[in-house]
Amino acid sequence: MRPIKQKRGIPLKTGRGIRRMLAWVDAEDFPRVKKFSYHASAGCGTYYARRAFNNIGLHRDIMGESNIPKGFVVHHINENGLDNRKKNLKIIPHSENIRLSRRRFGK
């Protein structure tokens, strides 16, 4: 019997000279997000997966755009923007996200 996969990789489109990249999601979210095309987008010391046609982040797709109040953002707990498993995502105020980013970059 094969083990049940806990996470699945979403292939990302990348520019020339960039190695193949995957964004990770929970297996339960994979069927919902696999229908979209995502590309790798650099920012804040990591890469993020963004939809190719409207630039919505995969992390926002996972958490549900309508569940994110104005002034809040989706934070990647382990600071890896390609790890979009629910256990790594948290909705926090934008000001808190800035504070955490400054701590990460030593500012």
2-11 pLDDT per residue, tens: 555 699 999 9
- Residue in 35, 39, 15, 30 with CA at minimum distance from that of residue 62: 30
Tell me the Cα Rg of the chain. 14
Its pTM stands at 0.84
Percent of the chain whose pLDDT exceeds 90: 65
Residues 6 or more apart in contact with residue 28 via CB below 8 angstroms = none
Count CB neighbours of 44 within 10 A. 13
Structure tokens at 32: 């919902």
Look at residue 16 in the predicted model and tell me its pLDDT.
Answer: 66
